[in-house]
Structure 1
Amino acid sequence: MPVEKHDLIHELPESKDTIHHLKTSNNHFAKLYHEYHEVETDVHRFETGAENTSDEHLEDLKKQRLHLKDQLFQMIQEHEASASE
Structure 2
Amino acid sequence: MSNTPHELAEEFPEFVEKMSALKVSDAHFAKMAEEYHELNRKVHGAETNVAPREELAEVDLRKRRGALKDEIYAYLKAN
Report the RMSD for the aligned CA atoms in angstroms.
1.4
Query: If the length of structure 1 is used for normalisation, what is the TM-score?
Result: 0.85
Could you tell which deviates more after superposition, 44-53 or 32-41? 44-53
Compare CA radii of gyration and give the structure with the larger one.
1
Q: Specify the alignment match of 1:82 in structure 2.
A: none
Structure 1 segments of 4+ aligned residues over 6 angstroms from their partners:
none
In structure 2, distance between residues paired with 1:28 and 1:45: 26
Q: Specify the alignment match of 2:64 in structure 1.
A: 64
In structure 2, distance between residues paired with 1:53 and 1:43: 9
Matches within 5 A, 1:1-85: 5-79=5-79
Superposed displacement of residue 67, structure 1: 1.0
Aligned residue type for 1:73: Y
Question: Tell me, which stretches of 5 or more residues in structure 2 are unaligned?
Answer: none
Q: 1:16-73 deviations in whole A, cap 9, x for unaligned?
A: 0111111111101100110000000000011011121101000000011011111111
Superposed displacement of residue 14, structure 1: 1.2
Count matched residues.
77
Q: Percent identity?
A: 36
Question: Tell me, which stretches of 5 or more residues in structure 1 are unaligned?
Answer: 80-85
In structure 2, distance between residues paired with 1:48 and 1:65: 17
Query: If the length of structure 2 is used for normalisation, what is the TM-score?
Result: 0.91
